[in-house]
Amino acid sequence: MAVLQRIALVQGRLRKTEQAIADFVMANPQLIRQLSSQELAQQVGVSQATVVRFSQKLGYKGYPDFKFAVNDTVLNFPEPQDDKLHGDIALDDSYSEMARKLLAGKIAVLTHTLSANEQQLMEQVCRILLQARRIMLTGKGASFLVAQDFCLKLRKLGMNATAESDNHIQLSELAHFGSKDVLFMLSESGETPEMVAIAHYARSHKLKLLSLTGFAPNTIAKLSAVNLKTMANESAVRLSSILSRNAQELVIDLLFILLTQSSAKGRKMLAASNAAVSRYRDPNASNKV
Ordered per-residue pLDDT tens for the chain, 289 residues: 568 777 877 766 788 899 899 888 887 888 888 899 999 999 899 999 999 999 988 888 899 999 988 888 777 655 544 444 445 677 788 889 888 888 888 888 898 888 888 899 999 999 999 999 999 999 998 899 999 999 999 999 999 999 999 999 999 999 999 999 999 999 998 999 999 999 999 999 999 999 999 887 789 999 999 999 998 754 444 455 788 899 999 999 999 999 999 888 889 888 888 888 887 877 675 554 4
Q: What sections of the chain are H helices per DSSP?
A: 3-10, 16-27, 37-44, 48-57, 63-76, 95-116, 119-131, 142-156, 167-174, 193-204, 219-223, 240-262, 264-281
Strand partners of residue 186: 139, 212
How far apart CA 198 and CA 215 sit, in angstroms, is: 20
How far apart CA 268 and CA 157 sit, in angstroms, is: 8
CA angle 221–166–231, rounded 5-degree value: 30
User: Parallel, antiparallel, or unpaired for β 182-187 and 135-139?
Assistant: parallel
Whether pTM exceeds 0.75: no
Contact 205, 174 (CB under 8 A): yes
